[in-house]
Amino acid sequence: SYVLYHDQIIKSGSIPVDPEDRGYLFGDGIYEVVFVYNSKPFGFAEHFERFEQSAQKLDLSMPYDISTFNKLTDELISKNNIVNGMIYIQMTRGVAPRNHLYERNMQSVVTGFAKSVSLDSIAASQTSGIQTYLTEDIRWLRCDIKSLNLLGNVMAKRKAADYDCQEAIQHRDGTVTEGSSSNVFIVKDGTLKTHPATNLVLNGITRQLVIKIAKDTGVPVLEEAFSVEELLNADEVFITSTTMEVTPVIKLLGTRVQSYKIGPVTTKLQKDFKQVIE
């Protein structure tokens, strides 16, 4: 397979790994995951915009503009013969002798890869729904940045899997924030609710698209924080992400337990979402 290294697409296995890359030492870097449908990256401009914002928030310098990233992404897709799949792009602050203090204007290290994904596998959980595990959000206060520091997310996902759940639903002091790698929506009396795009959640590209689709089709949306109690009393619950699209939640486990039906609002948004990607 072929991978991205700086502004080149090269054979995998030939990327030099420097132990003093700040990505390894401090998790000092950012990433994006972009889905590929029919050999085309979906929402590339939106993902790149967030990538730039993450870079700016961390005082990282962007080595290339969107046209270069777009060209490299297309090459990654074509050289790996990806029809449906995902692209991972990462950028670390670069290589320097280990020191918490970073110097400005370092040479960022850009890497990436592509993987085929079977749409059938994600379709299965979209039809049947998933189980989720309610857990405390122990992450930092800049979850709006798509940083490589994902330990809180990783720990939440493992815990969820240990209870036979496909995703965690995190809460801070009883306020639901987001999943370990997805945003969380509830439906109550026909109205959608999801955590506002503050520093406490990642402003998902899928989240933004679902909100737009809902508003365009007359489904009221409230970008408002909601409580674990509201989660328990919701008519429908679903999660959104690049890799999961719109996936219904049928069960909540953990300190509180609840079952949900896959309802009409979720099903409608799934259908509308499919139409946008086609």
The catalytic site residues sit at 146
Q: From the CB of 221, what's the least distance to ligand PDD, in Å?
A: 16
Query: Closest CB to ligand PDD among 70 and 243?
Result: 243
In the chain, alpha helices (H)? 22-26, 44-57, 66-79, 119-128, 151-162, 205-216, 228-233, 264-277
CA dihedral of residues 247, 253, 258, 259 (deg, nearest 10): 50
Q: From the CB of 216, what's the least distance to ligand PDD, in Å?
A: 18
Closest-by-Cβ residue to ligand PDD is 204
Of the ranges 103-111, 126-134, 213-221, 239-247, which one interacts with ligand PDD (CB under 6 A)? 239-247
Number of residues that bind ligand PDD (CB under 6 A): 15
Query: Closest CB to ligand PDD among 181 and 258?
Result: 181
Contact residue for ligand PDD among 242, 258, 266, 270 (CB under 6 A): 242
- Binding string, residues 124-163; x marks residues near ligand PDD by CB under 6 A: -----------------------------x----------
Does 206 participate in binding ligand PDD (rule CB under 6 A)?
yes
Nearest to 172 by CA among 197, 139, 145: 139
Query: Closest CB to ligand PDD among 3 and 205?
Result: 205
- Answer for the pair 159, 150: CB distance below 8 angstroms, yes or no: no
Query: Closest CB to ligand PDD among 131 and 243?
Result: 243
Does 202 participate in binding ligand PDD (rule CB under 6 A)?
yes
- Pairwise CA distance, residues 221 & 210, whole Å: 10
Half-sphere exposure of 217 (CA within 13 A, CB side): 18
SS3 at position 3: strand
Query: Closest CB to ligand PDD among 95 and 176?
Result: 176
Q: From the CB of 199, what's the least distance to ligand PDD, in Å?
A: 13
- Pairwise CA distance, residues 241 & 166, whole Å: 13
- Pairwise CA distance, residues 116 & 90, whole Å: 18
Can you give 23-44 as a three-state secondary structure string?
HHHHCCEEEEEEEEECCEECCH
- Pairwise CA distance, residues 75 & 4, whole Å: 9
- Binding string, residues 22-61; x marks residues near ligand PDD by CB under 6 A: -----------x----------------------------
Query: Closest CB to ligand PDD among 193 and 207?
Result: 207
Does 205 participate in binding ligand PDD (rule CB under 6 A)?
yes
- Answer for the pair 7, 110: CB distance below 8 angstroms, yes or no: yes
Which chain residues interact with ligand PDD by CB under 6 A? 33, 153, 178, 181-183, 202, 204-207, 240-243
